[in-house]
Amino acid sequence: MSDLEFSLLVLPSILASLLIFHLLAKRSKQKSYHLPPGNMGWPFLGETIGYLKPYKATTIGQFMEEHISKYGKIYRSNLFGEPTIVSADAGLNKFILRNEGRLFECSYPRSIGGILGKWSMLVLVGDMHRDMRIISLNFLSNARLRTHLLQEVEKHTLLVLECWKNNSVICAQDEAKKFTFNLMAKHIMSLDPGKPETEQLKKEYITFMKGVVSAPLNFPGTAYRKALQSRSIILQFIERRMEERIKAKCEDEDDLLGWVLKNSNLSKEQILDLVLSLLFAGHETSSVSIALAIYFLQSCPIAFQELREEHIEIAKAKKQSQETELNWDDYKKMEFTQCVISETLRLGNVVRFLHRKALRDVRYKGYDIPCGWKVLPVIAAVHLDPSLFDQPQQFNPWRWQDMNRGSCYTNGSSSSSTTASRSSSNNNFMPFGGGPRLCAGSELAKLEMAVFLHHLVLNFHWELADSDQAFAFPFVDFPKGLPILVQHKHNPFPTS
Ligand code: HEM
C-alpha cells in the first residue's frame, strides 16, 4: 500500500474509531456524574432561544425564574450549542471567578472573538491576558484618574450637558453614549470631540456595536457582516493614527496608543485589538449605567433631592474657596452619590452574566461540573435575589449606607436590614465581576457616573417624555433611547 493509499484509507478509519471511542468514554463518564437538575432542550439549540428572550432589566426574566423555582439556583442546560451549568448561586459565582485559570477559564462564544479580535482582552487567557491586563490597569490606575481623567471626565460632561436646552426632549441614552465615547476616544487616541474624524469613527462604531450584540450570522446584509466591515474600517483608522505617530516620532503622546507604542512589545495586530476592545469595554457599559441612573432617579424624587443636596454642598464649598473644577477631595465627598451608583448597578445589571468553562471536573455543593462544560455565573440573579437583598426590585440607594435610613418607598422610615445582611450584600455585589478578571475600568466607570450626576442634578430636573424602560436582550438597552423632558434647575452655586 502506497503512502497515499494509507493516508486515504487507514488514517480516516483510525481517526473515526478514536472519535467513537472518545465519545463513548465521555458518555460513560458522564453517567457517573452527579449533575445538577435541568433540561438540555432541543438538539444543538438547547434552551438558547428561551434564555435570550428579552425581559425587563430589573428582573431575572421568566425563563430564569421558572428554571430556578423548578431546579434550584444551580441547574444544567444546553446554551450557545454547549452543555452548560447555569449558576444563580452567590457562593458558586464567587468560587468560579476566584478560580479563574485554575478550575475555570474565560470562554466567550467564538463570534465575540471574531468581532472583537483574537487579541481582545475579553477572549484572551493565560500569560497574554495577564500582559494586556497590566497595560490596561496601568492606564486606568487611580493615579491617572486623579491627575488626568477627573478633569477630562468633567470637561466631557459639560460639553454634553451644555447643549441641553430648557424644555427640550433629550434622548438620554444617546447623550450618555456621546459622553463616554468622546471620553474614551480622547483618552485612548487623543481624538477631539466634534472633529470630522471623531464623528466618522463614531458612526462606524455604532454599526460595529449593532453587530457585537446581534446573532453571529455572517451573510450579506446581516448586522454581524456589517459590523465585521466596520471593524476593519475602525482598525484601518487606528492603524493610520499609529503610523502617523511613528512617522512623526511622537509616540510619547499622553494616551493609551502613545503608552503602548512606547512601553510595550505588542505587535501591531495586538495593539489594534487592545485599542478596539478598550473602546468597547469602556464605552457601552458606562453609558448604559448613566442612562439607568437617570431612569431610576426620575422614579424616586427623594433620592434625587438627597443627591442634589449633596452636590449643592460640594458646589457651595467650591464657590467659597473660589475653585471651579472638581478635584479628588470633592469626589471623595460624594458619599450618597456612591450609594446611588451602587444601587443603579445592582438593580440595572449592565453585565448580567459571564462566560466561563470548567478546566477540570469540579464538585460544588454535591454537584459535578464536568471538565469542558460551559459555566455561566449569572451576577444579575444574585443582585436580585430576595434572600440577599431586601425588596430587591426597589431602587433603594439607602441600603448602601452604614446607617440605613429607609427606602424611598417607605419615605424615610427605617428598614429591617441588619448590619450582617448589609455586609453580606456588599459581599455579593459583583457588577464588575471578580477575581483575576475584575473589570479594569471599574474606578473610571464610577468616576464618570459621579461627575456626570454632579452636573446633571445641579442644573437639571427631568421626567420621562415617553414611557420607556430598560430591557435585557441580554445586553441592556432602552428601546426608545430613554426620551426625557429636561428643565433647567436654578444652580445656586454655578462654578463656571
Ligand atoms: C458600569 C460600567 C462597567 C461595568 C458594569 C463593567 C463590567 C465588567 C465586567 C463584569 C467585567 C468582567 C468580564 C469577565 O469576567 O468576563 C469587565 C471587564 C473589563 N472591563 Fe469593565 N465594566 C464597566 C466599565 C468599564 C470601563 C469604563 C472600562 C475602561 C476602559 C472597562 C474595561 C474593562 C476591561 C479592560 C475588562 C477586562 C478585564 C480583564 O479581562 O482582565 N470597563 N467589566
* pLDDT tens-digit readout, 272-319: 999 888 888 888 899 999 999 999 999 999 999 999 999 999 999 998
Q: Give 217's pLDDT tier (boundaries 50, 70, 90).
A: confident
Which position has the grid cell 425587563? Answer: 56
Cell reading at 268: 501591531
Q: For residue 319, which amino acid is it?
A: K
Q: Is the pLDDT of residue 44 over 70?
A: yes
Residue 320 Cα, ligand 1 centroid: separation in angstroms?
Answer: 38
Q: What is the pLDDT of residue 299?
A: 96
Q: What is the pLDDT of residue 417?
A: 46
Does residue 81 contact residue 107 with C-beta atoms inside 8 Å? Answer: no
Mean pLDDT computed over 10-36? 54
Q: What is the pLDDT of residue 116?
A: 87
Q: What is the pLDDT of residue 24?
A: 38
Q: What is the pLDDT of residue 495?
A: 65
Q: Is the pLDDT of residue 64 over 80?
A: yes
DSSP count for the chain of H helices, then E strands: 20, 13
Q: Is the pLDDT of residue 30 over 60?
A: no
Does residue 60 contact residue 380 with C-beta atoms inside 8 Å? Answer: yes
Q: Is the pLDDT of residue 403 over 50?
A: no
One DSSP character per residue, 297-365 reads: HHT-HHHHHHHHHHHHHHHHHHHHTT--S--HHHHHT-HHHHHHHHHHHHHH-SS-B--EEESS-EEET
Q: Is the pLDDT of residue 264 over 50?
A: yes
Residues sharing a CB contact under 8 Å with residue 430, sequence separation 6 or more, in sequence order = 93, 94, 97, 379, 382, 383
**Closest approach atom of ligand 1 to CA 430:** 10
CA neighbor of 187 nearest in space, from 223, 225, 154, 140 = 140
Question: Is there an atom of ligand 1 within 6 Å of 78 CB?
Answer: no
| Maximum Cα interatomic distance, the chain, rounded to a whole number of Å | 95
| 367 secondary structure, DSSP code | E
Q: Is the pLDDT of residue 408 over 50?
A: no
The Cβ of residue 26 has, within 10 Å, a number of other Cβ atoms equal to: 12
Number of Cα atoms under 13 Å in the Cβ half of residue 64: 30
Q: What is the pLDDT of residues 435-472, one digit of tens each?
A: 999 999 999 999 999 999 999 999 999 999 999 999 99
pTM recorded for the entire structure:
0.89
% of the chain surpassing 90 pLDDT: 58
Separation between Cα atoms, residue 101 and residue 104, nearest integer Å: 6
Q: What is the pLDDT of residues 136-171, one digit of tens each?
A: 998 899 998 999 899 999 999 999 999 999 999 999
Separation between Cα atoms, residue 249 and residue 245, nearest integer Å: 6
Q: What is the pLDDT of residues 316-365, one digit of tens each?
A: 999 898 888 999 999 999 999 999 999 999 999 999 999 999 999 999 99
Q: Is the pLDDT of residue 391 over 80?
A: yes
Alpha helices in 140-266 (DSSP H): 142-144, 150-161, 172-189, 196-212, 223-247, 256-263
Reported residue count of the chain is 496
Q: Give 72's pLDDT tier (boundaries 50, 70, 90).
A: very high
Q: What is the pLDDT of residue 484?
A: 98
Q: Find out whether 171 is annotated in a ligand binding site.
A: no
Q: What is the pLDDT of residue 114?
A: 83
Does residue 179 contact residue 160 with C-beta atoms inside 8 Å? Answer: yes
Torsion angle of C-alpha atoms 408, 413, 416, 421, degrees rounded to 10:
50
Separation between Cα atoms, residue 352 and residue 63, nearest integer Å: 14
Separation between Cα atoms, residue 394 and residue 123, nearest integer Å: 35
Question: What residue's CA is closest to ligand 1, atom 27?
Answer: 282
Cell reading at 178: 456621546
Residue 137 Cα, ligand 1 centroid: separation in angstroms?
Answer: 11
Question: What residue's CA is closest to ligand 1, atom 23?
Answer: 285
More confident site: 176 or 212: 176
Separation between Cα atoms, residue 211 and residue 205, nearest integer Å: 10
Question: Is there an atom of ligand 1 within 6 Å of 281 CB?
Answer: yes
Question: Is there an atom of ligand 1 within 6 Å of 276 CB?
Answer: no
Question: Is there an atom of ligand 1 within 6 Å of 349 CB?
Answer: no
| 397 secondary structure, DSSP code | G
Residue 437 Cα, ligand 1 centroid: separation in angstroms?
Answer: 8
Burial classification of residue 52, based on how many CB atoms lie within 10 Å of its CB (0-12 exposed, 13-18 middle, 19 or more buried): middle
439, 475, 476, best to mutate for ligand 1 pocket (most atoms within 8 Å of CB): 439
Question: Is there an atom of ligand 1 within 6 Å of 431 CB?
Answer: yes
